[in-house]
Amino acid sequence: MQREEAVLEIKTYPNPVNAGSLLVIERSIGSYAGSINFSLISLNGNRVSSGNYDRFPQQIMVDTNGLLPGVYLLKITSEQGKSVSKRIIIR
């Protein structure tokens, strides 16, 4: 019998976030907790923030200081290659 993999689920808040404030990425309870990497990417394709974690913590704080207002893509990828993306608005 195959072991079922946990699903990669996140919440982000606040969204929209004011530039210079912290964006919180929260792992949903029971969600995948293994190795992940995250990237915050501007619409022109520039990676403006990123991080790697051996274990996906309950919360990750992302500093938006210095980011221009606009729409960004948050992408989190597990070590198995599964990913989840969210649109983040910085105002």
**45 conformational bin, left if phi > 0, alpha if psi -120 to 50, beta if neither:** left
Q: Does residue 3 surpass a pLDDT of 60?
A: no
Q: Is the dihedral of CA 47, 59, 10, 36 positive or negative?
A: positive
DSSP 34: S
pLDDT (0 to 100) of residue 6 = 78
pLDDT digits (tens, 9 = 90+) for 35-90: 999 999 999 999 999 999 999 999 999 999 999 999 999 999 999 899 999 999 99
pLDDT (0 to 100) of residue 7 = 86
